Amino acid sequence: MARINENYLKLPGSYLFAEIARRVNRFKTENPSADIIRLGIGDVTRPLVPAVIKGMEAAVAEMGQESTFRGYGPEQGYDFLIQTIIANDFAARGVTIGEDEVFVSDGSKSDVGNIQEIFSDKAKIAITDPVYPVYLDTNVMAGRTGALGEDGRFAGITYLVCNAENNFCPALPESPVDVIYLCVPNNPTGTTLSRSELKKWVDYARETEAVILFDAAYEAYITEADVPHSIYEIEGAKEVAIEFRSFSKTAGFTGTRCAYTVVPKTVMGRTEAGEKVPLNQLWNRRHTTKFNGVPYIIQRGAQAAYSPEGKQQIREVVDYYMNNAKVIREGLLSMGLTVFGGVNAPYIWLKTPAGLDSWGLFDKLLTEVNIVGTPGAGFGPAGEGYFRLTAFGNAERTIEAVERMKTQLKL
Ligand code: PLP
């Protein structure tokens, strides 16, 4: 019998969403007429904008003609999309990025999950707590974490706690690490780091020769001027940071699939013997060996998201979600709850009221007002005592959910 990668057995089951589904299904069976509103999903609900559809339709027509048909494309992405990305997302912010530093992919989940392959299995990893689970789970699979302790933490991981006490701005690691995952604006907390807070991390990474893996999947939701859209807006970041961007939450591509990763040629790692190696070289090798490019039609759709009409239409969609965020945030604040996020991100992170833990609030919302959210404890031990609501739903249903909470929830 083939021997397996036993690291997989260290992963706790997909407890969070399975348990949410179990509780919702049981409630629905017992209360078939209940009108449940889901504010738990991290998926978008608005359709693709017309400019993107137009870009894709033109590409579909090209694929049907011998003279314009495309087979395999460059694994790193077509020049037309890479150049559009650089011009709009970086040059427009005064950041210089080379065309061979951008890698187009089928999603940030793949990229943030796969990037760990280019680091040593001995690399020390720091992640925030609570966290988007992919960063942790992929390092568990790779065998970098040791076993799961009774406190819900892996012995080999450096956890960077983010909570109300530190204003969701984690303290620097106490001992050196090789790799630091940061997600700004953050999922699940909806909070951000200011320019000066992020600079502290970049300076730290430069001093200790660590690499920052910067997940900016929610960049489009930033509304405040002091929140950087790219880590490369911070001086020195091109020496130490890899940035992940996605069209999922920006242009509604969660089902369409397109993202990109920036690996500046100046970001270095080292061999055991101390030889410096550019991470760009390793990621290029990994990407071209294991990935065969995003479909031409999809890349044309992504390019169209940057056209003047595309930008305008996408802005309206982001504003739609952010209006939901405002409705939720203000509604909860008016109830006297302590609320974070929802200003630069489509996530609202609330403190559970006294006497209720994360799952306690989940059950109360489900049974008293038929609303489904996500218990903070599912994102890591430091998420206990918090709860996540998302702004990706329908506007009318979001208003109704908030009204129900304001008028019917017994806190
Ligand atoms: N990074 C974060 C922080 C996310 O929340 C998500 C999706 O929810 C992703 C990455 C995945 O994005 P993609 O759809 O590009 O795979």
pLDDT digits (tens, 9 = 90+) for 37-68: 999 978 999 999 999 999 999 999 999 999 99
* Residue in 162, 248, 294 to alter for ligand 1 test, most ligand atoms within 8 A of Cβ: 248
Average pLDDT over residues 387-409: 97
* Residue in 16, 41, 110, 112 to alter for ligand 1 test, most ligand atoms within 8 A of Cβ: 112
Please indicate whether residue 106, judged by its CB atom, sits closer than 6 Å to ligand 1: no
From the CB of residue 155, how many other CB atoms can be counted at a distance below 10 Å?
A: 10
Stronger pLDDT, 18 or 272, i.e. the higher one: 272
Residue 214 is inside which H or E element, if any?
strand 211-215
C-alpha 411/C-alpha 255 separation (Å) is: 38
Q: What kind of architecture, by CATH, is found in domain 6-47+309-408?
A: Alpha-Beta Complex (3.90)
Long-range contacts of 19-25 (CB under 8 A, 24+ apart): 19/378, 20/362, 20/372, 20/374, 20/375, 20/378, 23/362, 23/363, 23/366, 24/366, 24/372
| pLDDT confidence band for 9 (50 / 70 / 90) | very high
| pLDDT confidence band for 17 (50 / 70 / 90) | confident
Q: In the chain, pLDDT over 90 holds for what percent of residues?
A: 97
Could you please report the per-residue DSSP string of 24-60? Answer: HHHHHHH-TT---EE----S--SPPPHHHHHHHHHHH
Please indicate whether residue 215, judged by its CB atom, sits closer than 6 Å to ligand 1: yes
pLDDT value for 158: 98
By C-alpha distance, which of 289, 316, 298 is closest to 257? 298
From the CB of residue 163, how many other CB atoms can be counted at a distance below 10 Å?
A: 20
pTM, full prediction: 0.97
Tokens 């893996």, located at residue: 213
* Residue nearest atom 5 of ligand 1, based on CA coordinates: 187
CA of 110 from ligand 1 middle (Å) equals 9
The token pair that represents 276 in the structure block: 């410096």
C-alpha 74/C-alpha 63 separation (Å) is: 16
Please indicate whether residue 107, judged by its CB atom, sits closer than 6 Å to ligand 1: yes
CA of 184 from ligand 1 middle (Å) equals 12
| Per-position b or e across 336-356, b if 16+ CB within 10 A of its CB | ebebbbbbbbbbbbbbbbeeb
Average pLDDT over residues 170-193: 97
CA of 108 from ligand 1 middle (Å) equals 5
C-alpha 227/C-alpha 239 separation (Å) is: 20
Strand positions, DSSP E, 61-130 = 102-105, 125-129
Please indicate whether residue 346, judged by its CB atom, sits closer than 6 Å to ligand 1: no
What tens digit of pLDDT does each residue of 89-117 get? 999 999 999 999 999 999 999 999 999 99
The SS3 call for residue 21 is helix
pLDDT value for 251: 97
Please indicate whether residue 246, judged by its CB atom, sits closer than 6 Å to ligand 1: yes
Average pLDDT over residues 177-190: 98
* Residue nearest atom 1 of ligand 1, based on CA coordinates: 217
Q: Where in the chain is the domain with CATH 3.90.1150.10?
A: 6-47+309-408
Average pLDDT over residues 25-42: 95
Q: Where in the chain is the domain with CATH 3.40.640.10?
A: 53-307
The SS3 call for residue 242 is strand
Tokens 């890698």, located at residue: 103
By C-alpha distance, which of 197, 207, 205, 210 is closest to 169? 197
CA of 387 from ligand 1 middle (Å) equals 19
| pLDDT confidence band for 16 (50 / 70 / 90) | confident
Q: How far is CA 163 from the centre of its chain?
A: 18
Tokens 């979600």, located at residue: 321
CATH topology of domain 53-307: Aspartate Aminotransferase; domain 2 (3.40.640)
What tens digit of pLDDT does each residue of 147-173 get? 999 999 999 999 999 999 999 999 999
* Residue nearest atom 2 of ligand 1, based on CA coordinates: 217
